[in-house]
Amino acid sequence: MKGGSGAVLNKSMEKNYEGSFHIVGGDFSRAGEASTELKSILQSLGIEKEIVRRASIATFEAEMNIIIYATAGILRYVITPEEIRIIAEDMGPGIEDIELAMQEGYSTAPEWVREMGWGSGMGLPNMKKNSDEFYIDSVVGEGTRVEMVIRRQIFSEGRSNDH
C-alpha cells in the first residue's frame, strides 16, 4: 500500500489534495489500512466530523469489496474545498447484475469472508447512502469502478437521493 499526498497538509485547504492507495485482493491482514489513513488525512484538514465519518465509511466498504472480490485495485481520492471524491477501481470478476448487487442483503461472499465479519450485502447500499453522488460501473471478467462524491457543504435540504 502506498500513501498519497497526505504528508504535507495545510489546514487552510486552499489547494486540492490527491493521492492513491494500492489494494491487494485477499489480503485481510491490512484490510482497512487505506481507509484509516484517508480518514486521518481528512481529519488533519479540519474537515467536519460527520463528513469525515461518511467519507471514511464509504471508502472502507469500497476497500473491503476490492479485498474480498478482486485481484487488485486502486483507491484514489481528490479533496477540494467543495467535495471529497473517492474512486475505487479494481481488476476482478466484475458484477453481472448491478441492480441486484445494490440490493440490501444481496451477497455472494463465501463462508470464510462471513467468518471475518463481512458479507451481509450492506456494503454497496451503504456507500450509496453515505455519498451525495454515487456511480458504479462494471465489466464481467475485467473489473469494477465505483466513484463517490461527498460534498463538504451541508445544505439544509439534506443529501440528495436521486442517483
Ligand X SMILES: Nc1ncnc2c1ncn2[C@@H]1O[C@H](COP(=O)(O)OP(=O)(O)OP(=O)(O)O)[C@@H](O)[C@H]1O
Q: What does the block give as the cell for 104?
A: 440490501
Phi/psi at 125 (5° precision): -60, -35
CA–CA distance, 44 with 9 (Å, rounded to integer): 7
Which entry of ligand X, other proteins, Mg ion, none binds 24, CB below 5 to 8 A by partner kind? none
Residue closer to Mg ion (CB basis): 18 or 33: 33
Q: Does 92 interact with Mg ion (rule: CB under 5 A)?
A: no
Binding status of residue 129 toward other proteins by CB under 8 A: yes
Choice between 87 and 106, CB closer to ligand X: 106
Q: What is the CA radius of gyration of the chain?
A: 15
C-alpha 80/C-alpha 68 separation (Å) is 30
Other beta carbons within 10 Å of 43: 13
Q: Binding string to other proteins for residues 80 to 109, with x set by CB under 8 A, is what?
A: ------------------------------
Stretch that binds other proteins, among 19-27, 34-42, 75-83, 136-144 (CB under 8 A): 34-42
Distance CA 32, CA 159 (A): 26
Considering only 6, 144, 149, 152, the residue that binds ligand X (CB under 6 A) is 144
Question: Judged by CB under 8 A, how many residues of this single chain contact other proteins?
Answer: 25
65 binds Mg ion (CB under 5 A): yes
Residue from 101, 148, 149, 150 touching ligand X (CB under 6 A): that is 101
Degrees, nearest 5: CA angle 82-162-139:
90
Residue written as grid cell 463465501: 110
Residues that bind ligand X in the complex, under the rule CB under 6 A? 61, 65-66, 68-70, 90, 92-95, 101, 106-109, 118-125, 144
